[in-house]
Chain A
Amino acid sequence: MSSAAEIDLEGPPSPLLEVRDLRVHFKTDYGVVKAVDGVSWHVDEGETLAIVGESGSGKSVSAMTILGLVPSPPATFPTGDIMLRGRSLLKMPEKQQRKLRGSQIAMIFQDPLTALNPVFKVGDQIAEMVRVHQDVSKHTAKKRALDLLGEVGIPNPAVRLNQYPHEFSGGMRQRAMIAMALANDPHVLLADEPTTALDVTVQAQIMALLEKLQEDRNTAIVLITHDLGVVASHADRINVMYAGKIVETGTADEIFYEPRHAYTFGLLSSLPRMDQSHQERLVPIKGLPPSLAAVPRGCPFHPRCDFATDLCLQEVPELRSVGGNGHRAACVHSDRVAMAHEERAVL
């Protein structure tokens, strides 16, 4: 990772989008909630980076922060920077930030019904998105909206253009959201649980659509989800988050076949699998995820961890290399995790 500060948007050396040591804290009556606590990652063109974790692990908050959707106060950002092609988003004037957000970086939300405005026609909402970022006539914007609806596979786009969100089914709404996100040809698409609210057959449609769009446009996709199946079939690289931190990062194959953090291992062991005929008891992770206002000292996972020793209490483990290029885990016992995984694989 280069430390280039102020380079033009075209230069290739710095990653397309980079998050550096991001911290997002919230002051509450119960103490400081560290929703995101020192998270760094990057994503490049045509690549899909998955951020996985359970509810409250901080995976959505980091994406919302990139788009400037986390209001401050209550949030504070003690450290961190967000770089688009090496230029700091946070150090730019507000007006310029707004220009980049939505055009260079766009987001798809989990629940398209709350993300779309119920009192405006879908076509008008997409056209507005176009006109905010491009100097075009109303007519041209509407024409663009029509093309976009067609591109995301909505049948009868000319009719759909003039309908309201409630007239769309769940899958169609998510397509409309994607059309809106694509309105300005973004380089980065942040997809926050894009298919969680949808049925599996519709999920397959939407994921196939995202893959096709990524191929056509070379878009970088940041896929935020808790569904490890979706991750296995779509991600190139994976960040596993727990209690506001990345605990393991690597390629999809590394995470699924060579997990080196006890949490990743636990998560994979607890999954029921559709491809296995006779399954033994599931192996759950004991206990509950911690409250982010009172994260356990040392490794935040240690109270739930079967590998934990006194060593885990001493300090917060740093992400360190565990083989491969870029496979890193923040676990003192990654060797023992590796052995346990081997044993399990043999069974």
Chain B
Amino acid sequence: MSQGTEPQQGGVGVAEPNHRPMLEVDNLVKHFPIRSGVFIKRTVGEVKAVDGVSLNVHKGQTVALVGESGCGKSTTARAILRLLEPTAGKVSLDGVEITGMGKDQLRKARREMQIVFQDPYASLNPRMTIRQILAEKYHLLGAEMTKSTISELLDTVGLAEEYADRYPHEFSGGQRQRIGIARAIALNPKFIVLDEPVSALDVSIQAQIVNLLEDLQDELGLTYLFIAHDLSVVRHIADRVAVMYLGGVVEIADRDDLFDRPHHPYTQALISAVPIPDPRLERRRERIVLRGDVPNPANPPSGCRFRTRCWKFEQLSESDARRCVEEPPPLLQMGGRPGHEAACHYASLREVVRS
């Protein structure tokens, strides 16, 4: 297996303080009300799907948002794009505040921010041809298009022009995902949310799509927010990684810092749980097996939300453990490395990829 060594490739991480980030997310909150009652619906509680997420993405970079199902990563992405109305918080794209925009303004802003969904089967209208699907984008957002627009667009994502008049069911999963990507880049956006774009694809096809996304980023200077649960793909594609658990970011760092020097016990468990396609390495790796499932986000644990499954919490003395129960840990800088933050009272480095 190859092990590349060139250290360059663009300013990674927070190393660009002089530029304003392309995407700024400040304390984003999305709560869903729980309603009950037959005739008169009363709000009896809230699911705190996203509970104060802050992150920045610089131009041309990829930040990955990872975590298990129900951690709020997709809700965060949708709230950023205002596909879901955020409960609180501020989102700015290229210096322009998205939250608080009126309807017309927002529609204009949508040209700049797009999304690629996980399931290309569900996100393409089966009764429209590819040409109609792509042209609709231009009509809806009021953009110019010429005769060659569609064929150039298809060419960019590696599809032949003759595919334009076919329907989605005539394509394979990988091809459909290419169409989804073509739709997202149609109007030259600045920022794209990639919501599990390769999770539904076979491995051999997955690599094709990952390469396409990387090429497009280089050519068009795109900024990505990459939502994924597959950490191997994340290690490959991301510049920075934010790990979410139960609605909050528990650790955020530049890619190699996160994988090689994780500090939060959840990040460590998550990475250690991912099997690596290398039998000899696997035989000597120790797996941190977490107990139980993610708690109900309508009723999260007090203090640190991870403590009910935390392997470290179990080892703490009663007085130390009390802190985890009573005091929610803030995100603090870790290991003296700028841009590496973790939210744990007892954070410490543990190597989990290779041991």
* A residues apposed to B, CB below 8 Å: 54-55, 155, 169-172, 199-205, 208, 226-235, 252-253, 256-257, 266-268, 270-286, 288-289, 344-345, 347
From the candidates B207, B272, B275, B354, name the one contacting A284 in the complex (CB within 8 A). Answer: B207
A233 with B279: CB separation less than 8 A: yes
A208 with B287: CB separation less than 8 A: yes
CA distance A345 to B1 in the complex (A): 5
Question: Provided the pairs A199-B68, A205-B290, A275-B353 are in contact, do residues A280 and B2 lie with their beta carbons within 8 angstroms?
Answer: yes
Can you spell out 22 A-B residue pairs with CB atoms less than 8 angstroms apart? Answer: A55-B202, A171-B293, A199-B294, A201-B290, A205-B289, A230-B275, A232-B277, A253-B279, A267-B203, A270-B203, A270-B204, A270-B207, A272-B232, A272-B233, A276-B235, A277-B260, A282-B207, A282-B211, A284-B205, A284-B211, A288-B172, A288-B205
Question: Provided the pairs A203-B273, A208-B289, A253-B279 are in contact, do residues A267 and B3 lie with their beta carbons within 8 angstroms?
Answer: no
A200 with B5: CB separation less than 8 A: no
A256 with B203: CB separation less than 8 A: no
**In this assembly, does B318 line the interface, its C-beta being within 8 Å of a C-beta of chain A?**
no
A256 with B208: CB separation less than 8 A: no
**In this assembly, does B147 line the interface, its C-beta being within 8 Å of a C-beta of chain A?**
no
CB-CB under 8 A from A205, the residues of chain B are 289-290
Query: Which chain B residue shows the least CB distance to A288?
Result: B172
CB-CB under 8 A from A286, the residues of chain B are 208
B194 to chain A, nearest CB (A): 15
B4 with A280: CB separation less than 8 A: yes
**In this assembly, does B269 line the interface, its C-beta being within 8 Å of a C-beta of chain A?**
yes
From the candidates A155, A271, A275, name the one contacting B354 in the complex (CB within 8 A). Answer: A275
**In this assembly, does B282 line the interface, its C-beta being within 8 Å of a C-beta of chain A?**
yes
**In this assembly, does B170 line the interface, its C-beta being within 8 Å of a C-beta of chain A?**
no
CA distance A284 to B204 in the complex (A): 6
CB-CB under 8 A from B353, the residues of chain A are 274-275
From the candidates B233, B235, B275, B283, name the one contacting A227 in the complex (CB within 8 A). Answer: B275
**In this assembly, does B63 line the interface, its C-beta being within 8 Å of a C-beta of chain A?**
no
B207 with A256: CB separation less than 8 A: no
Q: Which of B271, B285, B293, B354 has the most CB of A within 10 A?
A: B293
**In this assembly, does B206 line the interface, its C-beta being within 8 Å of a C-beta of chain A?**
yes
CB-CB under 8 A from B260, the residues of chain A are 277
**In this assembly, does B220 line the interface, its C-beta being within 8 Å of a C-beta of chain A?**
no
CB-CB under 8 A from B229, the residues of chain A are 199-200
B275 with A233: CB separation less than 8 A: yes
From the candidates B4, B256, B278, B290, name the one contacting A232 in the complex (CB within 8 A). Answer: B278
**In this assembly, does B162 line the interface, its C-beta being within 8 Å of a C-beta of chain A?**
no
From the candidates B2, B269, B276, B294, name the one contacting A274 in the complex (CB within 8 A). Answer: B276
**In this assembly, does B85 line the interface, its C-beta being within 8 Å of a C-beta of chain A?**
no
CB-CB under 8 A from B282, the residues of chain A are 229, 232-233
CB-CB under 8 A from A203, the residues of chain B are 273
From the candidates B2, B274, B277, B292, name the one contacting A200 in the complex (CB within 8 A). Answer: B274
Question: Provided the pairs A232-B275, A282-B210 are in contact, do residues A202 and B293 lie with their beta carbons within 8 angstroms?
Answer: yes
CA distance A288 to B171 in the complex (A): 11
B203 with A273: CB separation less than 8 A: no
Query: Which chain A residue shows the least CB distance to B275?
Result: A229
CA distance A289 to B289 in the complex (A): 36
B231 with A274: CB separation less than 8 A: yes
CA distance A233 to B256 in the complex (A): 23
Query: Which chain B residue shows the least CB distance to A256?
Result: B279
CB-CB under 8 A from B207, the residues of chain A are 270-272, 282-285
CA distance A272 to B279 in the complex (A): 16
Query: Which chain B residue shows the least CB distance to A285?
Result: B204
From the candidates A204, A229, A233, name the one contacting B232 in the complex (CB within 8 A). Answer: A229
Interface residues of B in 1-21 (CB under 8 A from A): 1-7, 9
B290 with A272: CB separation less than 8 A: no
Query: Which chain B residue shows the least CB distance to A263?
Result: B204
CA distance A204 to B280 in the complex (A): 18
A260 to chain B, nearest CB (A): 16
Known: A256-B278, A288-B175. 20 other contacts (CB 8 A): A155-B292, A199-B69, A200-B231, A203-B273, A204-B287, A208-B287, A208-B289, A228-B203, A230-B275, A253-B279, A267-B204, A268-B277, A272-B237, A273-B232, A275-B278, A275-B353, A277-B256, A279-B2, A284-B211, A347-B1
From the candidates B259, B274, B277, B293, name the one contacting A271 in the complex (CB within 8 A). Answer: B277
CB-CB under 8 A from B205, the residues of chain A are 284, 288
Query: Which chain A residue shows the least CB distance to B3?
Result: A276
CB-CB under 8 A from A253, the residues of chain B are 279-280
Q: Which of A54, A230, A268, A272 has the most CB of B within 10 A?
A: A272
A153 to chain B, nearest CB (A): 9
**In this assembly, does B227 line the interface, its C-beta being within 8 Å of a C-beta of chain A?**
no
B338 to chain A, nearest CB (A): 19
From the candidates A169, A234, A272, A288, name the one contacting B293 in the complex (CB within 8 A). Answer: A169
CB-CB under 8 A from A199, the residues of chain B are 68-69, 229, 294
A344 with B1: CB separation less than 8 A: yes
Query: Which chain A residue shows the least CB distance to B175?
Result: A288
CB-CB under 8 A from B41, the residues of chain A are none
CA distance A347 to B2 in the complex (A): 5
CA distance A252 to B276 in the complex (A): 13
CA distance A123 to B68 in the complex (A): 28
CA distance A268 to B276 in the complex (A): 12
From the candidates A232, A257, A266, A282, name the one contacting B236 in the complex (CB within 8 A). Answer: A282
Query: Which chain B residue shows the least CB distance to A286?
Result: B208
CB-CB under 8 A from B23, the residues of chain A are none
**In this assembly, does B185 line the interface, its C-beta being within 8 Å of a C-beta of chain A?**
no
A279 with B289: CB separation less than 8 A: no
CB-CB under 8 A from A201, the residues of chain B are 68, 269-270, 273, 289-290
CA distance A289 to B69 in the complex (A): 30
Query: Which chain B residue shows the least CB distance to A345?
Result: B1
A21 to chain B, nearest CB (A): 27
C-beta contact mask, B239-261 vs A, less than 8 Å → 1, else 0? 00000000000000000100110
Query: Which chain A residue shows the least CB distance to B256?
Result: A277
